[in-house]
Amino acid sequence: MRSRSTAVLSLIAASGLLLAGCASSGGSPAAAPEKTKPAVTVVDSSLSDPAAVGERVGADGKQLEVWSGIVPDEAAAGALGDPEAGTQWVTANVAQWVSDKGLTGADIAPVLRSTADDSFEGVAVPQQNVDVEMKPDTSYTYVWSYAVPDALVDPSTLVICVGAGDEGCSVLTK
């Protein structure tokens, strides 16, 4: 019992010395900590060479990271109603960031594209409020659904992109 008490007291004394050494500043005031942005890797990607699920992609100050996709998503009809005849709902769960102030989720809605038909551009339909102004460099989670023609509902060919361009694209499913 005595050796445990001695060990605990020795540990407390050593911790006190370490803390005292860290607290001394040699008479000069302590410097305020600098705010730094975390290191972020944005993967180069395109419609023809999309990033994998879980990788961050971006273009024009907008970024996204696909968490998961549901192809087709029959449950989306519960929140959005039935899709138009000849289409099916496809859903993407994503984290999104912006670098500029004054943008809302509706402003940065990603576009769903198909490598099987490069003329297809799916319009995002939100499953939540997207009118909230986003703060730069802050992660926001969105659930976007898309009405996709039956012939294009193929998980291996669907790609979600930051915008209508050919950069900042990610596969929708693993």
- pLDDT tens for each residue of 106-139: 999 999 999 999 899 999 999 999 999 999 999 9
Instruction: Tell whether the torsion through CA atoms of 60, 164, 75 and 52 is positive or negative.
Output: negative
Instruction: Tell whether the torsion through CA atoms of 75, 106, 162 and 38 is positive or negative.
Output: negative
E-strand spans in 4-153?
56-59, 62-70, 87-98, 111-114, 121-122, 125-126, 140-149
| pTM exceeds 0.95 | no
| All domains in the chain, ordered by first residue | 56-171 (2.60.40)
Per-residue pLDDT at 6 exceeds 90: no
DSSP 27: T
CA-to-CA distance for 114 and 120, rounded, in angstroms?
A: 6
CA-to-CA distance for 164 and 127, rounded, in angstroms?
A: 21
Average pLDDT over the chain, rounded to whole?
A: 83
**3-state SS assignment for residue 10:** helix
pLDDT at 142: 96
Tokens of 6: 């001695």
Backbone angles phi, psi at 89, to 5 degrees: -75, 140
pLDDT at 98: 95
